[in-house]
Amino acid sequence: MRSDIWIISPFGRFLHVLGGTLGQLLMPLIVMISFVFYQQDNFGGSIGLWWLGQSFMDCAPYVDDARAGELVLLGGTTGQETPYVHD
């Protein structure tokens, strides 16, 4: 059983589908906000902003492939071969 199911499942199916990507984007955003607003450290905030940009770039290929399903998944098949299955 995946550990993130019990954290995200109370918020509905939509957030459950977005779970991994949402977590990947929320953590740098939280870091950026905490540095800028709570620590008054703009350099730390800029590192959080850089991290957020990197996270968006990491998510981009998967967002681009969402409809086509051409990327090879961890199981060795593509999204077209096994619909409703993702990494």
Please determine, for residue 2, whether its predicted confidence score (pLDDT) is greater than 60. no
Reported residue count of the chain is 87
Please determine, for residue 57, whether its predicted confidence score (pLDDT) is greater than 80. yes
Per-position DSSP letters for 15-65, written without gaps between them? HHHTHHHHHHHHHHHHHHHIIIIIS--HHHHHHHHHHHHHHHHHHHHHHHT
pTM: 0.73
Render pLDDT for 62-87 as a digit per residue (tens, 0 to 9).
Answer: 888 878 888 887 778 887 787 666 65
Render pLDDT for 3-29 as a digit per residue (tens, 0 to 9).
Answer: 556 666 677 777 777 777 888 999 999
Cβ atoms of 35 and 48 within 8 Å: the answer is yes
Cβ atoms of 74 and 87 within 8 Å: the answer is yes
- Domain segments of the chain as ranges: 1-87
